[in-house]
Amino acid sequence: MALTLAQRLDLLTVRAEELSYWRVRESQPVDGWIVDGQSIALGAAWPEVDGTRRFSVDASVPSTWPLSETRLRLDLGGESLITIRDDKGAETSYGLDPNHREFPLTSHRFSVSSTTVARLPFGEPVRQPKLAMAEAIWVDPQVERLALLLKQICETIVVLGEHEVIPHLLNAGEKTLRSLDWPTETQAYISRTASAPMQQKVWRLPEVVASPAALTDAERDSVRRAYETLIATLDDLQKRFPPQGDVLLTGHAHIDLAWLWPYRETRSKLRRTFHTALSLMERFEGFRFNQSTAHYYAQIAEDDPKLFDAVLEKVKTGQWETVGGMWIEPDTMMPSGESLARQILYGQRYFEKTFGARHTVCWLPDCFGFSGALPQLLKQGGLENFFTIKVNWSETNRFPADLFWWEGLDGSRVLTHTFDNTPHGYNGELQPHDIHQTWRNYRAKDKHDTTLLAIGHGDGGGGVTPEMLVRHEQLSHFPALPKTTWGHVADFFDGAQTSAKSVTLPVWRGEIYLELHRATLTSQSAVKRLHRKAERSMITAETVSSLAHLLGGEKPASEEAAWRVVLKNEFHDILPGSSIREVYEDAEEELMETIGHAESVQKAALAEIAAHLPAGDAGDALLIVNPSLDARRCEIVTPEGARLVGASDIPALGVAIVPRSAIKTPKPVEATARTLENEILKVTLASDGTIESLYHKPSGREAIEGRGNRLMAYLMEKPRNWDAWDIEGDYMQKGEEITHVESLEVIEQGTARGAIRIVRRWRNSSVTQVLSLASGSPRLDIETEIDWHDRRVFLRSITETSVRAMSATYECAYGVVERPTHVNRSWDAAMFEAAGHRFVDLSETGFGVAILNDAKYGHSTFGNVLGISLLRAAVYPDPLVDEGYQRFTYALMPHEGAWYQGHVREEAEALNQPLLVAPVSDRAAGVWQPLSVDGVPAGLSALKPAEDGEGVILRLYEPAGRRGTVNIQPPAGWQVSEPLTIMEETSGAKADELKPFEVKSWRLKR
């Protein structure tokens, strides 16, 4: 009876699988192992589990085994870096993990040493590690390659579906198996196949021998002939059914800087992965491998200089491609614009200094959305191209293009490519499935005839395997499948850029929002707050140091070393809150040290500023410095902790010496048990502590329609898959309002500030909030302290406003993004939680309400309701995420006009960076403005020491989408350069114009 094609495929698969049991001709155990100075037998458990264990052994293999066919097969019980030393003392290192277990030997006598941890690539603990396997094997390469070739034929038939080449492939495979001269002797056959799944189900197997006979020379010769014939048949079929499509392969090993393992383990992963890649380059000349992240190379240079030198050599030969152009692969939705600029500045400078060239491709395969500020920054950094695959992870709407121009907020464009290789993504395995599906899913075939595909195990590192490279050699003979070629990522984009000159590519404008992983805007609140404070403290430290220089002090030193710590902790699994507890213990320590460093720089700079101001008789006075580009009301906290509000503003980048006695509050704030009132706002609380009224006196408008600052605890917030990453769209279906007020009392009244403290209890947790209003302030601050001890809860504050608008304004890096307040379309409905930096504003014509914050990123705007996410108590991968104490402030701010007319950004800046204050004496009272900027309202990104050469760099950005002139007035004796890029090089831009959302830099020097 004739079999169907499907039945023939099953038969071919089953028969081909059996060949692999003859792959190993002979084997022998490698024993005599030592672990940390103690003997350990094969199969024995480790005497100690925690930390790094060191295994070693001296061994030999029979002299009759040909070394080209001899391999060492190991499973030491976890991930390892092994070093094999031959009989002449030459050493070669490899990464050992579940995907890399076999290693070549170059001499019959050898020794092995390792550093090993009881972990698997994704950080999973090996609960009972043991020396599971250590053997030398003599491989039959003829059998090995034929088994793999037949396997690939079966895989190809599956992926090609009903393609007309399938009967021909089946015929070729069946003919190959029939041509084999195969052994049949009972005991050898049973022994060889004893490990097969079906044989393992037998009630009791017959006696098996430890070293069953291998193929005879005649049998092996039939395998060789069968392989050669099959390759020739495939070549003939390829002529009849030529390859469909072109796929450029790049070897890759995505290595998360920290995720399900701490950073100290990543340092070991880097060494393991780099050694593996180098070993494959020695064995496969055409192989090409790429690795991003300047920080990784700097770390390897420190940890293993010899390995680093080997990488340098392969970079010179072109086998190893450095890519990315950034310091690390950061999250791009939460860092400030200046942080993103520093990622590129310090990344590109490192690559140029170390490898002799900057990059042209930004490589960010695995980030959770992409800021609309990026294209402009990439262009200024020389990165004309952008790569990611994460856009394909959106759950609701399919991203509409895979080769397109991405246009940023300011209109800058970068050529962007993404490939869709489900489910392997950027961890391609070089199977027919990966190649065929990636080409089939590629939608820009008519625009550019090649797509990219990254190959290699990743996330936890590891990279490419020898089998993948053999697969590629074999697949070059296959019909119908796309043609594959190892190449460089930069070369792919060069070709795509050429194609883009003659075709019209789609354009995507603004941010790329990922419809997934929305909880990463909230998880791990503590590190998000520390990061915000660290980047802000560093910017301020550089600003005041530069102001001191402009006033006559010495040029401050580059702060690159401290910035590198901030940038490291912006990694796309650290800042988003998706890592294990140990990662955050490290991050919090590093960020606190950076904050301490920045504050010490600020303190020294204030002393330097004071030293260069005129002497006088101001007496007991305060030095007040405004490190922003906006005039500020004189609202300060003295070094002794007193809150003062003066009548006069401090000018932008201004310096004032003010006698303490001269700081007089214009009008004290009135406070009662349920009200706060100053010249601008009157706040009335309900009995449950929520805001009943927020009356804006200048406009005569009530800002609340319902209640404000309702604390909502959404229960059983358990996503389908990614626990700390995701928020499900139905989270609002089960929520409890926290209404139990334990106490409500006035704690400040009749002074420069009025304040009411509210203590609430909910289940096992408490929330203490101080609602405060300063004299002359347009915002109501809500200082929040939480002591949290509940799981599976999503805590939010929601405010029902008296504003109607179809969209809301969210601050982002170097600008704003408009988001819907409705769910008219699936794209709108999917944006139910989104990133906002320091403010989110809801405005109708003439009036609006903003919510400001100093530590939060997750927000929502539904109809007239402003929401801000405060914490999210998930249980994986950190069972104690957001547990315990945390402190932050958010604020409500009604205003007249649009957000930019109501000075919302300026108030958000003041909330995040108060005026700097230091006590002084023997100085003259007065106000100085060493640097002024006039014209279109701009935001200060940085005032920093130049990385190379003299002077300081002033970086401004237009934050609201306006256009106008800008006039920079430096101190006498200083000059302003032509506009510069973020790389601090001449840009060619117009000197006196600032366009919508444009980022522009200048050098100021004497």
pLDDT (tens digit per residue) in 827-864: 999 999 999 999 999 999 999 999 999 999 999 999 99
* pLDDT, tens only, 694-716: 999 999 999 999 999 999 999 98
Q: Please state, as a whole number, how many other Cβ atoms lie within 10 Å of the Cβ of residue 359.
A: 27
What's the pLDDT at 949? 84
What's the pLDDT at 797? 98
- Confidence check: pLDDT of 370 > 70: yes
**Six token digits for residue 958:** 């237009």
What's the pLDDT at 541? 98
- Confidence check: pLDDT of 534 > 90: yes
* 85 CB-side CA count, 13 A: 9
Query: With contact defined as beta carbons under 8 Å apart, do 634 and 648 qualify?
Result: yes
Query: Strand, coil or helix: what is 630?
Result: coil
What's the pLDDT at 1? 67
Q: From the CA atom positions of the chain, what is the Rg in Å?
A: 33
**Span 242-266, mean pLDDT?**
97
Which residues are known to be catalytic? 366
User: What pTM was estimated for this model as a whole?
Assistant: 0.97
**Span 682-698, mean pLDDT?**
97
Model confidence band, residue 717 (pLDDT cutoffs 50, 70, 90):
confident
% of the chain with per-residue pLDDT over 70: 100
What's the pLDDT at 78? 97
Length of the chain counted residue by residue: 1006
Query: Strand, coil or helix: what is 733?
Result: helix
* pLDDT, tens only, 790-833: 999 999 999 999 999 999 999 999 999 999 999 999 999 999 99
- Confidence check: pLDDT of 920 > 90: yes
Q: Widest CA span of the chain, in angstroms?
A: 111
Peptide bond preceding 877 in cis form (omega within 30 of 0): yes
Model confidence band, residue 210 (pLDDT cutoffs 50, 70, 90):
confident
Alpha helix segments (H runs only) across 712-836? 826-829
Query: With contact defined as beta carbons under 8 Å apart, do 967 and 934 qualify?
Result: yes
61 phi, psi to nearest 5 deg: -125, 160
Alpha helix segments (H runs only) across 304-431? 305-317, 337-355, 374-380
Sheet holding 884-896, edge to edge: 741-748, 753-762, 765-774, 780-788, 884-896, 847-853, 839-844, 807-812, 815-820
- CB within 8 A of 888, min separation 6: which ones? 525, 529, 784, 853, 854, 855, 856, 870
- Give the Cα separation of 411 and 409 in Å (integer): 6
State the DSSP string of 16-62: HHHGGGGSEEEEEE---EEETTEEE-TTPBPS--SS-B-EEEEEE--
**Six token digits for residue 186:** 């009972």
* 544 CB-side CA count, 13 A: 29
The overall average pLDDT reported for the chain is 97
- Confidence check: pLDDT of 27 > 80: yes
What's the pLDDT at 380? 98
CA 379 to chain centre: 20
How far, CA to CA in Å, does 466 sit from each of 102, 173, 251, 454, 469? Answer: 9, 23, 12, 15, 5
**Six token digits for residue 653:** 């980048």
**Six token digits for residue 928:** 């100085």
Amino acid at 738: I
Query: With contact defined as beta carbons under 8 Å apart, do 150 and 20 qualify?
Result: no
- CB within 8 A of 521, min separation 6: which ones? 333, 334, 576, 833, 834, 835, 857, 858, 859, 869
**Six token digits for residue 724:** 């700390």
